[in-house]
Amino acid sequence: MRWSLELAQALVVLVLWVCCGSGTGCPCSDRALCEPVTVEHEFEVFVFDVGGKDWKYYDWFKVTTIAAFGPYDPELLCYAHANQVRVVLRAGMLEGTIYAECHWVGEGQMNHLIIIWKPPTGSVTVQMATNWVTFNVPWSPDCIDGRCYDFLRIANSCDFLFVMSYDMQSQMWDNCFAKANAPYYQTLSGYSAYINLGIDSRKLVLGVPWYGYDYTCTQFFETGRCVLEKIPFRGAPCSNAAGRQVPYKEIVQHVHKSITGRYWDDEQKVPSYIYMVNNTFHEVWYDDPQSISIKSAIMKKLRLRGIGMWNGNMLNYSDDHFIVKQTEDMWNALCPL
């Protein structure tokens, strides 16, 4: 499916109407904060936010862009712009979703657009009348979950691609065992595949998960051999639909109470743990500061544009000393020395 320039312009108009329709004018006490963020960051740290006020506790020394998935929050816009951080908002359209920055409600002038669109099949050409365009892509260009797009042409039409290097077990072809959400070598292979298509590595932002999967074992033999219910997805006999997503802030509360404690898998380079409820074993695979740091090193290895995560709300931002240290470690893992 190919996007025409006319459709692109129509989408831009829609986004302007959704984000910047008639209304109240600049919501910030300092009118200058309603102007576009013009700072160019050499290193991108892209944070998805799903709502609430957790953003007040983000590491604003690191963040360069906030993608706001929750209700529009003018306070977030003003605070982010005060820190020279872009904010992009969400608006629904057709089969997929578009994201666009609105500098201020009422009189905003859009100059940033993020496209996250999932057409049924075929390649996509993105052409947008704007000066900052990005596209979310799966962890690999090899037709993951039926996303058989023309990624090179998309990349050439965008400023960068956000690579969603998580949910890698959405299609399990080999066996129906619980596995890591984002194994290291699988992650690395995805970026290598994009670069081998001819995509400039500086157009790739590494996406990492701040969540894991809790799998119920239909049979349990040992760590790493938790048999799952067979839930097929797009032709694959098994999938991560057999588990439930668990935020990191919940995981850190449970791991030390588990049967195994934190268990490091050196092959997948991620941790896991086992617990039992009503005589049923559960295996939880997740990412923590160690596994995130290892994946973050891919940025230097392949000279990527930056890093981001789904999502910033997955951490605990309480003032408990132990929790504060865990949260700081996760933020610091995004930018290894």
Residue-wise pLDDT for 138-187, tens only, equals 999 999 998 888 999 889 888 889 999 999 999 999 889 999 999 999 99
User: What is the C-alpha to C-alpha distance for residues 16 and 98, in angstroms, rounded to an integer?
Assistant: 11
Catalytic residues: 107
- The strand pairing partners of 177, in sequence order, are 227
**5-210+288-333 to CATH, choices 3.40.190.10, 3.20.20.80, 1.10.260.40, 3.30.465.10:** 3.20.20.80
User: What is the C-alpha to C-alpha distance for residues 184 and 177, in angstroms, rounded to an integer?
Assistant: 18
Structural contact between residues 128 and 142, judged by C-beta atoms closer than 8 angstroms: no
DSSP one-letter code for 105:
T
Burial-class residue 221 by CB neighbours within 10 Å (0-12, 13-18, 19+): exposed
What's the pLDDT at 148?
A: 87
Model confidence at 50, pLDDT cuts 50, 70, 90, reads very high
Share of the chain above pLDDT 70, in %: 80
Q: Please, what is the Cα angle at 162 between 159 and 164, to 5 degrees?
A: 165
What's the pLDDT at 35?
A: 86
Model confidence at 296, pLDDT cuts 50, 70, 90, reads very high
Strands (E), the chain: 44-49, 65-68, 86-93, 96-100, 113-116, 133-138, 160-164, 204-209, 211-216, 219-222, 225-227, 243-247, 263-265, 270-277, 280-285, 306-310
User: What is the per-residue pLDDT across 71-85, written as a single tens digit (0 to 9) for each?
Assistant: 878 999 999 999 999
